[in-house]
Amino acid sequence: MSLWVIIASCVLLQVNPDRIDLQGLVLDEAGNPVSGARVDITTAAPRVGDGIFCPSCYRDCAKFTRADGVGRFTLRSLDPSLKFRLLISSPGKKAVLTKLIDPLTDKAGITLKDFPKDLPAERLVQGVVVDEDDIPLEGALVAPSGAKTAERRWHGSVDVEPAVCDAKGRFTLFLPEKYEAVDVEVSADGYAGEAAKLLRPRSEAHKIVVPSGTRVVARVVHDGKGVPSVRIAVVQTFRSPEGFFIKAVEQVSDEQGKLTFHCLPASQEYAIFTVVGAGPQNLVLTTKKFLAHGNGQERDLGDLKLTRPLTLAGKVELPAGTTLPPNARLAFDRNPAWDLISIPIAGDGSFFLAGIPPETYTVRLAIPGMTLDTSRLGYQVVEAGSFGIRLRESVSDLRIPLVIGGQP
């Protein structure tokens, strides 16, 4: 049996008109609903113009959902400026990666075919995913993240389709010819996730134990009082492909200003920060680091003091006789925070950014045929097309001079 996925038109969230929902329906070939199919956002790209972030770095790429009992699914509160590539998967089926879907205009139909039964055993990696009590994790996503051949070893994109675990936690991956082994990252609802390296085809199943993770609580305050409705996120500071990186986990403070982050990878260093890329806020948290406790434990960060945000305004100065390309943008990186901040540059070169914490930023822009004029910049150049700036107070006249040069 094969499955059809119909991506329906999106609707605006009433609680936040700047975000949208992506809704869809999962059916089989007979038109019957298929419940429990997993729908992940894998990558994203701007609806208009060139991307200035890596395709999988957008916060929305951490989101997933499942089809309900009548086959419907909803991916909530997405950035309306982006298009999304979805991964649709179900136990016993070959996963399918969609094209980029514009949630404002597109609909798509996708067939998930049955996993073939006659594949050669020497190219099958079989495994079982369980929790710490040895209970199978039905519906866990097993996503390839690296591979090895006789010639090379690499991390990243591989020609191996993801799999979803069945009711007994079992999964099967099919390796192309010349692949000796594959790395995987396992994600499961209510668990911290796990990475497994160099799984090889063999007769017995690989066993992957996924931990429950650790919990972190905190309270955001101003003038000694808890502040509700503040967007705060945590993210691991160690982002090597050798570990399991979950990207930023975002929460909104409750009426008492309290925050709780569940199922985080344990015993790792994290950064906690205000989310700026989702829109300005009246109060912000300067990025701070902390060490999470062990698996099954909780760390209370106590009261975290918020401060008034800053603004940054200025102008990109173009070489004589040149104009900005359509949809030109500036990006602001906040290492160790994981916050993708992108703002438009007006036709006259002006820009404005509000709601930012007082900390250090890397400013990036990429305009074909132009590069930074470092002789007039006045700030330390980090790499081609970017420079660092430390903000202690609002700035109203940041000038970014450009000259002819760089990549066409």
pLDDT digits (tens, 9 = 90+) for 205-247: 999 999 999 999 999 999 999 999 999 999 999 988 778 898 8
Q: Evaluate whether the domain defined by 310-404 bears CATH number 2.60.40.1120.
A: yes
User: Which of the two residues, 19 and 336, has the higher pLDDT score?
Assistant: 336
Q: Express each pLDDT in 348-381 by its tens digit.
A: 999 999 999 999 999 998 888 889 999 999 899 9
Tokens, residue 137: 């994790």
Residue 183 has pLDDT above 80, yes or no: yes
Evaluate whether 147 touches 99 at the Cβ level (below 8 Å): no
Residue extent(s) of CATH 2.60.40.10 domains in the chain:
214-305
Q: What pLDDT score was predicted for residue 319?
A: 93
Fold of 3-112: S-adenosyl-L-methionine-dependent methyltransferases (2.20.130)
Q: What pLDDT score was predicted for residue 89?
A: 85
Residue extent(s) of CATH 2.60.40.1120 domains in the chain:
121-209, 310-404
For the residues 272-286, what does the mean pLDDT come to?
92
CATH class of the domain defined by 214-305: mainly beta
Residue extent(s) of CATH 2.20.130 domains in the chain:
3-112
Q: Evaluate whether the domain defined by 121-209 bears CATH number 3.30.1360.10.
A: no
Closest Cα partner for 261 from 270, 251, 275?
Answer: 251
pLDDT averaged over every residue in the chain: 88
**Using CA atoms, how far apart are residues 194 and 186, in angstroms rounded to an integer?**
5
Query: Whole-prediction pTM value?
Result: 0.83
For the residues 41-70, what does the mean pLDDT come to?
83
Angular region, 23: left φ>0, alpha ψ -120 to 50, beta rest:
beta
Give the Cα-Cα-Cα angle 41, 73, 80 (nearest 5 degrees): 50
**Using CA atoms, how far apart are residues 88 and 3, in angstroms rounded to an integer?**
10
Closest Cα partner for 195 from 205, 210, 181, 180?
Answer: 210
According to DSSP, the residues that pair with 180 across neighbouring strands are none
Give the Cα-Cα-Cα angle 315, 344, 339 (nearest 5 degrees): 105
For the residues 190-218, what does the mean pLDDT come to?
95
Tokens, residue 15: 């609680």
Residue 17 has pLDDT above 50, yes or no: no
